[in-house]
Structure 1
Amino acid sequence: MSRPPNGPTGNRPRTDASAEDVYREYATIGTALQLPEKMWPADRAAFHEYWNRTLAGLEADEVAVRVARDLLYPSAGPAVMRLVMPLARLITAGLLPCQLRKDFRLAWNRWHRLCFERTINLLARVHPLLPQRLRHWPKKYYLGQLAPALGHPWQGRHLAAAPEVRGRQSNADNSAYDPPGDSRTGAVSGD
C-alpha cells in the first residue's frame, strides 16, 4: 500500500521548497528544547543524515520502557483519553524504527502494519482539509507548555521530562532505521 498519488499532503503535492519551509518552521521546536540554533542541521538532507545516525545508536533502557508503558497504557485519566490510546499505541509503534519498537516491547505484526498504513493514508488525506489554525494547534500548544520551564517568554506550564534513552553499544549503521515509509516520496513499504 502506498500514500496518495499526489503526495503525502493529499491533493497538494509537497514541493522541496515548501518542505524546507516546514523544516525551518519546526526548527523552533529544537531551539525550544534548548538545542542551540547553530547545532540544528542546516537543511532536510543534513537532518536526515543526523536522524539516521542518531537512531542507529538509540536503545530504550528499563526506565524508558516503564515510562512508555505508563503513558501508552494509562490506568487512570479521562475516559476519552483511554479510548484513543489504542490508536496512539499504533501510531507510536508504526513511527518507531524496528529496533526501538522491539526495545519498547510494542506489539507489531502484519495486521498492525496494515492498520498503521491505512491510518497514515487517511490522515494524509484529511490533514490538508483541516483549517491551518487547527493543524498547527498541537505544536503551538506544546511549545507554550515548554516555554516557562525553558526560560522562553511564551505562556504555559512545564511538561514532564521525556524518558531517557541511551546509546546502543554497537557499530550499527543507517540500515538500523526501519522507517514505515520513504521520507522522500511518502511511500509506505511492506515488511
Structure 2
Amino acid sequence: MTLEQVRIHIPDTYRSPRKKPAQLADSLDFWMFAGAAANVAMQFAHQGVAAGVMESQVESGALMVHPWKRLRTTSAYLATAVLGTDEDKKAMREAVNVAHRQVKSRPGSKVKYNAFDRNLQMYVAAAIYIGFEDTNQMLHGKMTAEELEAFYQGADTFGTTLQVHPDMWPKTRADFDAYWLEACKGVVCDDEFRAYIDDLVHLRMIHWSLRIVAGGLLQFLTAGFLPPHFREQMAIEWSESDQRRFEHLFLFVGFVNRFIPKFIRFAGTHSMMRDVRRRIRKQKALI
C-alpha cells in the first residue's frame, strides 16, 4: 500500500503565495464541511470503529437516527479541540467519555471493540486531522513540506481531547504518514458495512427534500474527498474525469473564498464555541 492510495490527490495548480503559515484554525471555515461526510466514512471504515458504530446501543448519538444532533456535537468537538482552553477540552473529554462508556463489543460481536480503546481513538483522530489538511490544501493550494510540518504541529489535540496519550501521537508529519499507512491496513469493508456507508453517502438520514436540493453535490464531494483505497473498499466509482471536475471545482471555490469576509466564513465555528462555553457554564449536556 502507498500514500497515493490512502490520501487524496492534491493538485500542483498554481495559487497565490500564502500570506502566513497555515494553522489548524484556518480550516474551521464553513468549507470544512464539504468533506465532512467523507471524513466520517473514513473514520467508520476501520473495522473496529465500524463495529462500534453499527452495533452501538446509544441511539441518542446515532448518525442515521439523529443526523443534526450528531452534526452539532461533532462540530462542537472540533471547535473545542482547536479553539478551546484546557478547561473547555477537559469538559468535552468528560462528556465524550460518558457516551463512550456504553460502546463496547458484546459476546456475539464479529469484531472486539471498546470506545475507550486508545488505538481506535488514535485512528479516528488521525482521520479528522487528514480532513483538516486536505480541505485546507484544496482551498488554498498545495503546501510545501515545511508548511505541512508547521500545519501539523498541535494536531495531537484531536486525540488528546479524547483519551489518546500525547506520546501516541506521531511527532512529525513524516511519522504521521508512516502511522497512517499502517493504520489503513485495518480498513476492510464487508457487504454489511458497504450498505451502511451507502446510506451515509446518499444522505438517506436527512429529509428527501434536502437530498433533492443538495444531494448530488454532496455525494460528489464525499466521493472526491475519499482516498482511492477507501473508495475501492466502499465500492464507490470515481473516474479521471470526476477527479478533474473535483479539482476544477475547488480551484473556483478557492478563488471565490478570497472575497468572502472571514467573519462570515468562520461565524459558524465561533458560534459553536460560544454554545459549548454556555453549556459548560449552565452545566448542560455537551453531546
Secondary structure of residue in 2 paired with 1:59: coil
- Quick check: 1:77 aligned with 2:207? yes
Evaluate the alpha carbon distance shift between residue 128 and residue 56 of structure 1 in structure 2; reply closer, same or farther with a 3 A threshold.
farther
1:65 pairs with 194, 200, 206, which one? 194
- Quick check: 1:134 aligned with 2:265? yes
Q: Which runs of 5+ in 1 are unaligned?
A: 149-153, 159-191
Amino acid at match of 2:202: Y
| Correspondence for 1:31 | 160
TM-score by length of 2: 0.41
| Correspondence for 2:221 | 91
Secondary structure of residue in 1 paired with 2:188: strand
- Quick check: 1:113 aligned with 2:123? no
Contact kept, 8 Å, 2:187 with 2:230, in 1: the verdict is: yes
| Correspondence for 1:163 | none
Shift of 1:138: 5.3
User: What's the C-alpha RMSD, in Å, of the aligned pairs?
Assistant: 3.9
| Correspondence for 1:40 | 169
- Quick check: 1:3 aligned with 2:20? no
CA distance in 1, matches of 2:153, 2:190: 32
Count of aligned pairs between the two proteins: 150
Q: Identity, % of aligned pairs? A: 21
Shift of 1:40: 1.1
Evaluate the alpha carbon distance shift between residue 135 and residue 62 of structure 1 in structure 2; reply closer, same or farther with a 3 A threshold.
farther
Amino acid at match of 1:4: Y
| Correspondence for 2:178 | 49
CA distance in 1, matches of 2:164, 2:201: 27
Evaluate the alpha carbon distance shift between residue 58 and residue 46 of structure 1 in structure 2; reply closer, same or farther with a 3 A threshold.
same
Secondary structure of residue in 2 paired with 1:85: helix
Shift of 1:39: 0.9
Amino acid at match of 1:113: Q
Higher helix share: 2
Contact kept, 8 Å, 1:94 with 1:113, in 2: the verdict is: yes
Amino acid at match of 2:170: P
Evaluate the alpha carbon distance shift between residue 138 and residue 48 of structure 1 in structure 2; reply closer, same or farther with a 3 A threshold.
farther
Q: Which runs of 5+ in 2 are unaligned?
A: 1-10, 18-136
Evaluate the alpha carbon distance shift between residue 21 and residue 105 of structure 1 in structure 2; reply closer, same or farther with a 3 A threshold.
same
Contact kept, 8 Å, 1:60 with 1:104, in 2: the verdict is: yes
1:122 pairs with 252, 255, 280, which one? 252
Contact kept, 8 Å, 2:12 with 2:141, in 1: the verdict is: no
